[in-house]
Amino acid sequence: MASETAPTPVASSDEKNLVVSFLQFIRQKVAQNECTPDQIETLEVAIQCLEHSFGLSDANYAFQPSRPLLEVFKSAEGLPSGETELPPPTEVEISQANKLKEEGNDLMKNSQFDAAVNKYSEAIKLNRDPVYFCNRAAAYCRLEHYDLAIQDCRTALALDSSYSKAWGRMGLAFSCQNRYEQAVEAYKKALELEPNQESYKNNLKIAEDKVKEIETARGSTAGQANPLANLFGGATGGAPAGFPNIGQLFSDPNMMNVAQQMLSDPGINDMMNSIMTGGAGGMSDLLAAGQRMAQHMAQTNPEMIEQLRRQFGSDPNAGPDGQNPPPQPPPQ
Q: What is the pLDDT of residue 76?
A: 84
**Is the pLDDT score of 305 beyond 90?**
no
How confident is the model over 252-271, as pLDDT tens digits? 555 556 566 655 666 656 65
Distance CA 263, CA 226 (A): 12
Taking phi over 0 as left and psi of -120 to 50 as alpha, with beta for the rest, 117 belongs to alpha
Q: What is the pLDDT of residue 81?
A: 67
104 and 116 Cβ atoms separated by less than 8 Å? yes
Across the range 88-107, mean pLDDT stands at 97
How confident is the model over 195-206, as pLDDT tens digits? 999 999 999 999
How confident is the model over 277-295, as pLDDT tens digits? 555 455 555 566 666 666 6
Distance CA 92, CA 85 (A): 20
What residue type is assigned to position 50 of the chain?
A: L
- pLDDT-derived band at 272 (thresholds 50, 70, 90) equals low
Share of the chain above pLDDT 70, in %: 61
* Mean confidence (pLDDT) of the chain: 78
Taking phi over 0 as left and psi of -120 to 50 as alpha, with beta for the rest, 70 belongs to alpha
Across the range 151-180, mean pLDDT stands at 97
How confident is the model over 224-258, as pLDDT tens digits? 555 544 544 444 444 444 444 545 554 555 555 65
Q: How far is CA 140 from CA 117, 134, 144, 276, in A?
A: 7, 10, 6, 51
- In this structure, which long-range contacts are made by residues 294-299, counting pairs with CB atoms below 8 Å and at least 24 apart in sequence? 296/258, 296/261, 296/262, 296/265, 296/268, 297/258, 297/262
Share of the chain above pLDDT 90, in %: 52
Same topology between domain 13-75 and domain 91-217: no
Task: Kindly report the pTM of this predicted structure.
Answer: 0.61
Q: What is the pLDDT of residue 330?
A: 41
What residue type is assigned to position 184 of the chain?
A: V
What residue type is assigned to position 282 of the chain?
A: G
- pLDDT-derived band at 65 (thresholds 50, 70, 90) equals confident
So what CATH class is 91-217? mainly alpha
Which residues lie below 8 Å from residue 222, measured CB to CB, with a gap of 6+? 235
**Is the pLDDT score of 329 beyond 50?**
no
- Does residue 332 or residue 143 have the better pLDDT? 143
> Could you say which architecture CATH assigns to the domain 13-75?
Up-down Bundle (1.20)
Distance CA 255, CA 259 (A): 6
- Does residue 153 or residue 82 have the better pLDDT? 153
How confident is the model over 2-51, as pLDDT tens digits? 544 545 557 899 999 999 999 999 999 999 988 999 999 999 999 999 99
Any idea where the domains of the chain sit in the sequence?
Answer: 13-75, 91-217, 228-312
Q: What is the pLDDT of residue 67?
A: 87
